[in-house]
Amino acid sequence: MKRFLALLATCATVLGLTAFTAPQAVAAAGCRVDYTVTSQWQGGFQGGVKVTNLGDPVTGWTLEFALPDSGQRIVQGWNATWSQSGSTVTAADAGWNRTLATGATVDLGFTGTFTGANPQPAAFTLNGVACTGSTEEPPPTPDDDTPVDINGQLHVCGVNLCNQYDRPIQLRGMSTHGIQWFSQCYNTASLDALANDWRSDLLRISMYVQEDGYETDPAGFTSRVNNLVDMAGTRGMYAVIDFHTLTPGDPNFNLARAKTFFASVAARNAGKNNVIYEIANEPNGVSWAGIKSYAEQVIPVIRAADPDALVIVGTRGWSSLGVSDGSNENEVVDNPVNASNIMYAFHFYAASHKDTYRATLSRAASRLPLFVSEFGTVSATGGGAVDRASSVAWLDLLDQLKISYANWTFSDADEGSAAFRPGTCEGSDYSGSGVLTESGALLKSRISTSDNFPTS
């Protein structure tokens, strides 16, 4: 479906049954609104409202705007609490998205009805401040440098992920789905959106080994991974190369394949400072001793070509530090992998993994360098409803502990964990609020806030 973009309160183009051009906006005055008519039918339409906070950080917000006198009525809305009185529409934060840092965005959407023409809404205000910010440039940031430009080669210092200035940092980003199934989702437009609109720090490249993945075409899948590494690097994002072992769960089953694959990608990408190697996605049905043995054979292969690279090691029980197998972090603390500059993976799915898992992560974070290389806002199946309360609790904890993360998934899979609505990857719009799922809107609102990476 063709989508029409109207940039309101700025040099907006009005779309509907008729069109006209609004006057040029004045300088930024606290906020900016981009309005999108994502679809329209006889007497009805769907609109998207993207709000960017250009002023001071706010906790608790209310957006108001005026509908034109054309019989427009809001029927249903999402990502906010919607109400309408006469021609005035009010959208208040939904709780989970109540905080808007400077430069942060929130994507709202609604369906409505109209009679006659369907002109633009007007007079947008955020907490009473007129949204007259220019849309010609992105929201202001401390500088124009990308995450890789600022942080350079990453390394482990103590239990932290540190940048080139030896300062602890947190990376926030998204994981692909299996690239054998969703390759159409990873293109120039989608990665531009991830880097520039989502303001993501990283792209995790999920290369399944089995399930029609690497083992069916080693050269072809290696080439695909390298291409995505380049695309991420061009946009200043870190690339996590995920050797996605899942079934069978013992990574030693793929030891020879892992050595071949990592020898190739490490040699090819050794000159880059944006590459992170994740050597075993979710080990399961295997002891920690077996995982440790695998890691101590694969890591030297990477180090031979790329000695400074950061490596993420999967943990027992689907990378739960053993919790899903009835164990805990002590088995790793007491018997760590014999290698330097490594971090340990911790995965969770918010609807399935709650207090016990959060308690484990909190304890382990003071003893082990951790990287949440995969998590979902839904159940461990990847489907079901978004658990907002648990997801927000997890994200707040990761922010507090400065633990980096990649969300599953930057795809349009027909499942609750996907960031995009089904069919999105058949088009070219990856930025509008109308293409986001509930999970996608939540993650975008968190990832797109300012990183404030330390440099001194």
Dihedral sign (CA 352, 353, 354, 355): positive
Dihedral sign (CA 436, 110, 350, 169): positive
Q: Which of 72, 129, 59, 153 is nearest to 99 (CA)?
A: 59
The answer, yes or no, to whether residue 339 has pLDDT greater than 80, is yes
Residue type, 100: L
What count of other Cβ atoms lies within 10 Å of the Cβ of residue 4?
Answer: 16
From 278, 329, 331, 374, the catalytic residue:
374
CA distances (Å), origin 211, targets 115, 248, 382: 52, 10, 16
Three-state secondary structure string covering 160-181:
EEECCCCCECCCEEEECCCCCC
Per-residue pLDDT at 6:
31
Name the most confidently modeled range: 35-39, 141-145, 290-294: 290-294
374 is catalytic: yes
Average pLDDT over residues 296-305: 97
The packing angle between helices 355-364 and 388-401, to 10°, is 10
Copy the structure tokens of residue 415: 């499942």
The answer, yes or no, to whether residue 9 has pLDDT greater than 70, is no
Per-residue pLDDT at 408:
97
Is residue 332 within 8 Å of residue 344, measured between CB atoms? yes
Domain 147-418 classification at class level? alpha beta
For 245-264, give one letter per residue: b (16+ CB within 10 A) or e. bbeebbbbbbeebbeebbeb
Determine if the peptide bond prior to 248 is cis (ω within 30°).
yes
- Place 181 in a pLDDT band, splitting at 50, 70 and 90: very high
Tokens 């942060």, located at residue: 104
The answer, yes or no, to whether residue 362 has pLDDT greater than 80, is yes
Torsions phi, psi for 304 (to 5 deg): -60, -30
Residue type, 433: S
Per-residue pLDDT at 418:
97
d(CA 171, CA 149): 13
CA distances (Å), origin 328, targets 355, 359, 405: 14, 10, 20
Q: Do domains 4-130 and 147-418 have the same CATH topology?
A: no
The ranges assigned to domains in the chain are: 4-130, 147-418
- Place 129 in a pLDDT band, splitting at 50, 70 and 90: confident
Q: Which of 97, 102, 90 is nearest to 28 (CA)?
A: 102
What count of other Cβ atoms lies within 10 Å of the Cβ of residue 149?
Answer: 13
The answer, yes or no, to whether residue 16 has pLDDT greater than 60, is no
Per-residue pLDDT at 67:
83
- Place 39 in a pLDDT band, splitting at 50, 70 and 90: low
Average pLDDT, the chain: 87
438 is catalytic: no
From 278, 282, 331, 415, the catalytic residue:
282
Per-residue pLDDT at 119:
66
| Residues sharing a CB contact under 8 Å with residue 217, sequence separation 6 or more, in sequence order | none
Copy the structure tokens of residue 341: 């500059």
Least confident of 11-20, 198-207, 332-341, 350-359: 11-20
The answer, yes or no, to whether residue 273 has pLDDT greater than 50, is yes
Domain with residues 4-130, CATH architecture: Sandwich (2.60)
Tens digits of residue pLDDT in 75-126: 888 778 999 988 889 999 988 788 887 777 788 878 888 876 666 787 888 9
The residue ranges of DSSP E strands in 30-113, in sequence order, are 31-41, 44-53, 58-59, 62-66, 73-78, 81-85, 88-92, 99-100, 105-113
